[in-house]
Amino acid sequence: MKKFLLTVAVLAASAGLSACASVTRGTTETVKIYASPEGAQIATNIGLTCTTSPCSLEVLRKTEFSVIVSKEGYNTQTVRVTTAVAPGGVAGIAGNVLVGGVIGVGIDAASGATLDHKPNPVLVELVPLNPKDPDTPKGDLSEVRDEIAAKRRAQEEAAMRSRGGV
């Protein structure tokens, strides 16, 4: 009987941990930043910088920040990166609630594990100060946009197939 109770307790604890967003999603997220034209400087208001594009920054999920992209001869652009509750985060909270993990819900909320950054990736196409100057062409990330759209379509199709659609 003791073995049975111990097994049930271990399974219940495992189920609670597996549903916890802090465990399954982590408290940080990689935010990818693309800037065009080449050579643009990328900085954030939280002290993170990049020397090349694209770059990846590891950021706490609960941290909102701004990305500042600049280059001589171009207008500096700032993009605000916010947070929003993600579908995976909702699933983690639901798992905590079902298993009775009120403490887990609190930890997930405090750590930001239920959140995703928006936009991610961040795409910045700089605009030249003088559009007629051939030395400062407008930034162009159309190929990157097309790649991102194709990946999203592939993910959506894979999700539909796994649910028995398509």
Average pLDDT over residues 23-31: 83
Q: Is the pLDDT of residue 106 over 60?
A: no
CA distances from 18 to 104, 108, 163 (A): 11, 13, 22
The band of 67, judged by pLDDT with boundaries at 50, 70 and 90, is: very high
The domain 26-86+112-148: what is its CATH number? Answer: 2.60.40
Average pLDDT over residues 101-118: 69
**Which stretches does DSSP call E strand in the chain?**
28-36, 41-44, 49-50, 55-60, 65-70, 77-85, 115-118, 122-125
Residues in the chain: 166
Helix axes 102-111, 87-99, angle to 10 degrees: 160
Average pLDDT over residues 116-144: 95
Q: Is the pLDDT of residue 48 over 70?
A: yes
More confident residue, 63 or 2: 63
The band of 74, judged by pLDDT with boundaries at 50, 70 and 90, is: very high
Q: Is the pLDDT of residue 49 over 70?
A: yes
| pTM, two decimal places | 0.74
In tens, the pLDDT along 84-100 reads 988 754 445 545 544 54
Domain boundaries in the chain?
26-86+112-148
Most confident of 9-18, 97-106, 145-154: 145-154
CA proximity to 62, closest of 24, 119, 114: 114
* Span of 38-52, 53-67, 89-103, 132-146 with lowest mean pLDDT: 89-103
Q: Is the pLDDT of residue 19 over 80?
A: no
**Triad 109, 114, 117: Cα angle to 5°:** 120
Q: What element of type H or E holds 90?
A: helix 87-99
